[in-house]
C-alpha cells in the first residue's frame, strides 16, 4: 500500500492544535483573574465525594464514547472492530476539537473511515448520517426540554449577546443557531431521503452562477455524495434507525451529565434538570461557534449560563475543569492515537491488522 500519511498529518499540524488550547486556556485564565477571590478557593473542600463525582464524570465520558463506537460499528455493518472504532472516534473528535465548530471534523472523518477499508460510498453515508443524527438530537430534544424546564428559567434575559453587531440577546442567538441547524438538516434530509438527483440538479444550477462558479466542482462532488449516501441507506429497517438514534441520545446525554456530576463534586445542587436544559441551549450556540472546538466561547458561556448554580468566583475555574474533563483529553489522546493509527493503516511497521 502506498505510504502517504502527509494527507492526514496536514490536518493535525502543530499550529492547528495549539491555537484552540491557547484560546481556551487564555479565556479561562482571564475569567478566573477577573473574578478571582482567594477566599473562595480556600473554602473549596476536596472530599472523598469530590473524587467520586469526578470519577463519575470521567465514566460518563467513557459511556459517551462507547455509544459512539457502537454507532459507527452499526453504520458500517461492523466493518470496523471495537479497537479500531476507538481510534476512529478519537481521531474524529481530535479533528473536531481543532476545527471551527460550524465546520466540524467531517472532512477528516471521511478520510479516516475510508482508510479503515470502508468503501467511499458507505463512508460518505456514515459521516453524513452521523452528522444528521447528532443534529436531530438537538432539533427534537431542545424544544421538549426547554418547555419542560420553562422558557423563563432557561433563558437569561439580562445577558447581552450580539450577532452581526445586533444585540439580540441569548434567546436570539439560540434561535439563530437552532433555525440554521433545522435549515441545514432539512436540506440534507431532502437530498438523501426524498430526491437526491433533484438535489444535485439544484446544487449545480446554483453553483453555475458567476459568483459561485469556482466552487462548481465541489458542488458536483457533494451532489454525487448525496446520491451515493441515498443508495447506501435505502432499505434500512426501523430497528436500524432506532438503534442509531438511541445510541446518539445516550452519547449526548452522557456528555451533558458530565457537568452535573462535576458540580455535584463541589456543591449541593437541586436544579439538575435546569442545568441539563441550559447545556442544551449552550451547545446549540457552540455549534455555530467560529473558534476551533468552541474554544473561548465555551468557557465564557459556561460561566454565563451555569454561574448561578456555582459559588460566586468559582464558576470560571469550574469552566476550566469542565473543559479539562470533556475537551482537552481529545487533543491529548488524539495526538497519541494518530501515529499508532498511521502506522497501522499505512502498514508502515509490519503486517496490517485484520479487520473484524
Q: For 173-194, how does the pLDDT look when each residue is reduced to its tens digit (9 = 90+)? A: 788 888 888 988 888 888 888 8
235 is a domain residue: yes
Q: Distance between CA 24 and CA 30 in Å, rounded? A: 10
Q: Between residues 11 and 301, which one has the greater pLDDT?
A: 301
Residue 71: give the domain boundaries: 6-36+56-345
- Mean local confidence (pLDDT), 236-263: 92
According to the model, what pLDDT value does residue 352 have? 46
pLDDT at 251: 94
Q: What single-letter DSSP state applies at residue 209?
A: S
> How many domains does the structure of the chain reveal?
1
Q: Is residue 329 part of a domain?
A: yes
Q: What is the pLDDT of residue 98?
A: 80
When pLDDT is cut at 50, 70 and 90, the band that residue 353 belongs to is: very low
Q: In the predicted model, what is the mean pLDDT of the chain?
A: 82
Q: Is the pLDDT of residue 161 over 60?
A: no
Residue 1 within any structural domain of the chain = no
Q: Is the pLDDT of residue 2 over 80?
A: no
pLDDT tens, position by position, 39-64 = 666 667 777 888 999 999 999 999 99
Q: What is the pLDDT of residue 39?
A: 67
- CA neighbor of 327 nearest in space, from 302, 287, 298: 298
Q: What is the DSSP letter of 354?
A: P
CB-CB neighbours of 286 under 10 Å = 19
**Average pLDDT estimate for 122-129:** 85
Q: Which three cell numbers stand for residue 15?
A: 499550529
Alpha-carbon gap, residue 313 to 112, rounded angstroms = 42
Average pLDDT over residues 307-315: 81
Distance, CA of 313 to CA of 239 (rounded, Å)? 48
Task: For residue range 215-234, list pLDDT tens digits in order.
Answer: 788 888 888 888 888 888 87
Tell me the C-alpha distance between 189 and 193, whole Å. 6
Contact between 101 and 286 under an 8 Å Cβ cutoff? The reply is yes
Q: Is residue 354 part of a domain?
A: no
Q: Could you tell me what percent of the chain has a pLDDT over 70?
A: 84
Q: Which among 154-168, 203-217, 240-254, 315-329 has the top mean pLDDT?
A: 240-254
46 occurs within a structural domain: no
For 64, the grid coordinates are 459517551
Alpha-carbon distance of 320 to 324, in angstroms, equals 6
Across the range 341-347, mean pLDDT stands at 85
pLDDT of 86-97, one tens digit each? Answer: 999 999 988 888
Cα–Cα distance between 125 and 227 in angstroms, integer?
10
Q: Is 166 helix (H, G, I), strand (E, B) or coil?
A: strand
Note the pLDDT of residue 1.
40
* Rounded mean pLDDT, 325-329: 88
> Looking at residue 36, what is its pLDDT?
63
Compare 28 and 271 and report the one with higher pLDDT.
Answer: 271
Please, which residues have CB within 8 angstroms of residue 264's CB and are 6 or more apart in sequence? 49, 53
HSE-up (13 A, CA, CB side) for residue 148: 14
Q: CA nearest 13: which of 85, 98, 101, 70?
A: 98
Question: Which set of grid coordinates corresponds to residue 245?
Answer: 438514534
Task: Please count the residues of the chain.
Answer: 356
User: Does the residue 44 lie in any domain?
Assistant: no
pTM for the full predicted model: 0.83
| Nearest residue to 304 (alpha-carbon basis) of 107, 104, 35 | 35
The residues, any chain, with a CB within 8 Å of residue 284's CB and separated by 6 or more, are: 138, 142, 174, 177, 178, 181
Contact 264, 140 (CB under 8 A): no
CA distance 211 to 180: 23
Residue 351 lies in a domain: no
d(CA 17, CA 22): 9
Instruction: Give CA–CA dist 134/129, Å, rounded.
Output: 8
With bands split at pLDDT 50, 70 and 90, how would you rate the model's confidence at 267?
A: confident
Q: Among residues of the chain, what percentage have pLDDT more than 90? A: 20
Asked if residue 21 has pLDDT above 70, the reply is yes
Show Cβ contacts of residue 111 under 8 Å, excluding neighbours closer than 6 positions: 7, 8
In the chain, DSSP assigns E strands to 162-163, 166-167
pLDDT tops 60 at residue 350: no
Find the mean pLDDT for residues 120-129.
84
Of the ranges 24-38, 48-62, 90-104, 271-285, the best mean pLDDT one: 48-62
Amino acid at each position: 500500500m502506498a505510504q502517504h500519511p502527509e494527507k492526514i498529518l496536514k490536518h493535525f499540524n502543530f499550529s492547528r492544535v495549539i491555537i484552540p488550547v491557547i484560546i481556551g486556556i487564555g479565556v479561562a485564565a482571564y475569567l478566573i483573574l477577573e473574578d478571582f477571590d482567594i477566599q473562595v478557593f480556600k473554602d473549596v473542600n476536596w472530599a472523598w465525594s469530590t473524587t467520586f463525582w469526578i470519577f463519575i464524570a470521567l465514566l460518563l465520558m467513557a459511556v459517551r464514547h462507547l455509544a459512539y463506537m457502537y454507532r459507527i460499528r452499526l453504520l458500517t455493518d461492523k466493518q470496523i472492530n471495537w479497537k479500531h472504532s476507538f481510534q476512529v472516534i478519537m481521531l474524529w473528535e481530535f479533528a473536531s476539537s481543532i476545527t471551527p465548530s460550524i465546520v466540524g471534523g467531517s472532512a477528516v472523518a471521511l478520510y479516516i473511515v475510508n482508510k479503515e477499508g470502508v468503501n467511499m460510498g458507505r463512508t460518505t453515508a456514515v459521516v453524513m448520517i452521523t452528522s444528521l443524527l447528532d443534529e436531530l438530537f438537538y432539533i427534537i430534544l431542545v424544544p421538549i426540554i426547554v418547555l419542560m424546564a420553562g422558557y423563563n428559567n432557561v433563558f437569561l434575559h439580562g445577558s447581552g449577546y450580539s450577532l452581526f453587531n445586533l444585540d439580540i440577546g441569548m434567546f436570539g442567538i439560540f434561535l439563530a443557531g437552532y433555525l440554521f441547524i433545522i435549515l441545514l438538516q432539512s436540506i440534507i434530509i431532502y437530498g438523501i431521503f426524498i430526491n437526491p438527483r433533484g438535489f444535485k440538479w439544484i446544487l449545480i444550477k446554483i453553483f453555475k452562477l458567476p459568483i459561485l462558479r469556482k466552487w462548481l466542482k465541489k458542488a458536483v462532488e457533494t451532489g454525487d455524495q448525496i446520491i451515493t449516501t441515498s443508495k447506501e441507506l435505502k432499505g434500512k429497517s426501523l430497528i436500524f434507525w432506532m438503534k442509531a438514534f438511541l445510541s446518539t441520545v445516550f452519547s449526548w446525554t452522557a456528555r451533558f451529565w458530565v457537568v452535573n456530576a462535576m458540580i455535584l463534586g463541589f456543591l449541593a445542587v437541586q436544579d439538575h434538570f435546569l442545568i441539563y436544559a441550559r447545556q442544551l441551549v449552550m451547545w446549540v450556540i457552540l455549534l455555530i461557534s467560529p473558534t476551533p472546538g468552541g474554544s473561548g466561547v465555551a468557557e465564557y458561556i459556561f460561566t454565563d449560563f451555569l454561574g448561578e448554580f456555582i459559588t460566586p468566583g468559582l464558576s470560571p475555574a469550574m469552566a476550566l475543569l469542565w473543559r479539562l474533563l470533556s475537551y482537552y483529553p481529545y487533543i491529548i489522546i488524539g495526538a497519541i492515537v494518530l501515529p499508532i493509527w498511521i502506522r497501522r493503516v499505512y502498514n508502515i511497521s509490519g503486517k496490517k491488522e485484520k479487520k473484524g
